[in-house]
């Protein structure tokens, strides 16, 4: 069922990403070649506040985006005429930043007379493994773990996503970031917790595994974060042991919930992980073991494609061009940026899930 990702498609799509704290532009070809890309992180701007400040993010995107588009087009030696479409993240995310990227894409689309592709950022993450893995066909079981989302999805095709689980409180990336804050490791937290965990004992600190073993399919990480805070306040443990034990508890929750998804909605030929937390090596290792146990192909995008980037947005645009076929003229130029945009609109709202639904 479903075709593998790569073809001899020579179409070119420019992708723009500006939904959080990375400004990114990429030019990708239909055969999966990333022709050129640039990413500008806003880490330095947000670090003093310990998290992303939406107004600062929007202004930084507005300052950087146009020169970055010029750089990518210049590096590739490509003109607007050569493009087949212009794709931009149109949500979900911090709305000021999303508007900067989407409006820029609309202006380019209008000037070039090329289709606009309004891309769901989550769909960018969900399809990014097909950009990296030429043989990955539909369907696959996707663990989408980022700063704002923690979901298990059955990916049945482009635009066909069935949500099997989501978080009832914090996203996993958020739990990593909050743990980093509690341990005073700075921002962004995930990579810092992973580094410190290397020096610690994952069994040293008794931490809860929220919802582990539950017949409810969802995730919960708020209790884990509170337990980390209590462990720090107790003064009984080293920061490295706390980081390692937190990471171990989180990974056990992921595996337990995936086992339940496989038991209730499986089998699937492939297990795929995407989103910023997919950059975590302990998470990847545990998923690889799970996939091997169930005889599934395992695909994780390379680290640079896990965290926010524009190549995945351009790629989602290319997948959309293939899906829509001849005569497709793109999304309307009055497409409105969406702060919320679930991949599976039919999925039930979950208690406390907020914008993560």
Kindly list the residues in this chain that would bind ligand KG4 in the complex (CB under 6 A). 20, 146-148, 173-174, 176-177, 188-191, 194, 275-277, 279-280, 307-308
Task: Measure Cα distances from 254 to 47, 51, 282 in Å.
Answer: 28, 24, 11
Tell me the C-alpha distance between 214 and 209, whole Å: 11
Nearer to ligand KG4, 151 or 280 (CB): 280
Tell me the C-alpha distance between 116 and 321, whole Å: 11
- The string of DSSP letters for 41-56 reads E-HHHHGGGTS--HHH
Task: Measure Cα distances from 118 to 3, 7, 99, 104, 198 in Å.
Answer: 23, 23, 11, 12, 40
Cβ of residue 171: shortest distance to ligand KG4, in angstroms?
Answer: 7
Nearer to Zn ion, 146 or 166 (CB): 146
Kindly state the number of chain residues that form the binding site for Zn ion, as judged by CB under 5 A.
Answer: 2
Tell me the C-alpha distance between 303 and 190, whole Å: 13
Cβ of residue 170: shortest distance to ligand KG4, in angstroms?
Answer: 10
Q: Determine if 104 is a binding residue for Zn ion (CB under 5 A).
A: no
Nearer to Zn ion, 244 or 279 (CB): 279
Is cis: bond before 139, omega within 30 of 0?
yes
Decide which of ligand KG4, Zn ion, none touches 104; Cβ closer than 5 to 8 Å per partner kind: none
Nearer to Zn ion, 52 or 192 (CB): 52
Decide which of ligand KG4, Zn ion, none touches 307; Cβ closer than 5 to 8 Å per partner kind: ligand KG4
Decide which of Zn ion, ligand KG4, none touches 173; Cβ closer than 5 to 8 Å per partner kind: ligand KG4
| H-helix segments, 27-169 | 43-46, 54-76, 95-112, 121-132
Tell me the C-alpha distance between 220 and 250, whole Å: 10
Cβ of residue 80: shortest distance to ligand KG4, in angstroms?
Answer: 28
Between vectors from CA 267 to CA 261 and to CA 272, what angle results, nearest 5°?
70
Decide which of Zn ion, ligand KG4, none touches 190; Cβ closer than 5 to 8 Å per partner kind: ligand KG4
Strand positions, DSSP E, the chain: 12-17, 22-29, 34-41, 85-91, 116-120, 140-145, 150-157, 160-165, 270-274, 297-299
Burial classification of residue 331, based on how many CB atoms lie within 10 Å of its CB (0-12 exposed, 13-18 middle, 19 or more buried): buried
Q: Determine if 146 is a binding residue for Zn ion (CB under 5 A).
A: yes
Distance of CA 48 to the CA centre of its chain: 24
Decide which of Zn ion, ligand KG4, none touches 300; Cβ closer than 5 to 8 Å per partner kind: none
Q: Determine if 308 is a binding residue for Zn ion (CB under 5 A).
A: yes
Nearer to ligand KG4, 92 or 317 (CB): 92
Decide which of ligand KG4, Zn ion, none touches 92; Cβ closer than 5 to 8 Å per partner kind: none
Decide which of ligand KG4, Zn ion, none touches 32; Cβ closer than 5 to 8 Å per partner kind: none
Nearer to ligand KG4, 44 or 263 (CB): 44
Whether the Cβ atoms of residue 149 and residue 275 lie closer than 8 Å to each other: yes
Eight-class DSSP state of 219: B
| Binding region for Zn ion (CB under 5 A) out of 54-62, 111-119, 153-161, 301-309 | 301-309
Nearer to ligand KG4, 122 or 291 (CB): 122
Task: Summarize as ranges the residues that interact with Zn ion (CB under 5 A).
Answer: 146, 308
């Amino acid at each position: 069922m479903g075709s593998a990702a790569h073809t001899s498609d020579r179409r070119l799509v420019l992708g723009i990403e500006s939904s959080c704290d990375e400004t990114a532009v990429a030019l990708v070809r239909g055969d999966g070649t990333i022709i050129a890309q640039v990413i500008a992180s806003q880490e330095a701007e947000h670090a003093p506040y310990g998290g992303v400040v939406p107004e600062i993010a929007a202004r930084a995107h507005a300052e950087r985006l146009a020169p970055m588009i010029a750089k990518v087009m210049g590096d590739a030696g490509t003109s607007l005429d050569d493009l087949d479409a212009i794709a931009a993240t149109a949500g979900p995310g911090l709305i000021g930043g999303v508007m900067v990227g989407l409006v820029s894409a609309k202006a380019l689309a209008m000037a070039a007379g090329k289709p606009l592709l309004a891309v769901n950022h989550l769909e960018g993450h969900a399809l990014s493994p097909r950009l990296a893995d030429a043989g990955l066909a539909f369907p696959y079981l996707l663990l989408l773990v980022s700063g704002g989302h923690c979901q298990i999805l059955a990916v049945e095709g482009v635009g066909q996503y069935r949500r099997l689980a989501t978080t009832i409180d914090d996203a996993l990336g958020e739990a990593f970031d909050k743990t980093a804050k509690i341990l005073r490791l700075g921002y962004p937290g995930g990579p810092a917790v992973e580094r410190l965990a290397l020096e610690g004992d994952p069994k040293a600190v008794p931490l809860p595994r929220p919802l582990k073993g539950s017949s409810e399919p969802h995730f919960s990480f708020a209790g884990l974060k509170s337990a980390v805070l209590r462990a720090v306040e107790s003064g009984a443990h080293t920061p490295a042991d706390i980081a390692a034990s937190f990471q171990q508890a989180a990974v056990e929750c992921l595996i337990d919930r995936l086992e339940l998804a496989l038991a209730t909605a499986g089998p699937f030929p492939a297990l795929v992980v995407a989103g910023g937390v997919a950059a975590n090596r302990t998470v990847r290792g545990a998923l690889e073991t799970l996939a091997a146990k169930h005889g599934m192909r395992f695909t994780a995008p390379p680290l640079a494609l896990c965290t926010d980037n524009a190549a995945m947005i351009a790629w989602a645009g290319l997948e959309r061009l293939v899906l829509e076929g001849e005569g497709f003229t793109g999304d309307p130029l009055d497409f409105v940026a969406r702060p919320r945009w679930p991949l599976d609109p039919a999925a039930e709202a979950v208690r406390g899930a907020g914008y993560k639904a």
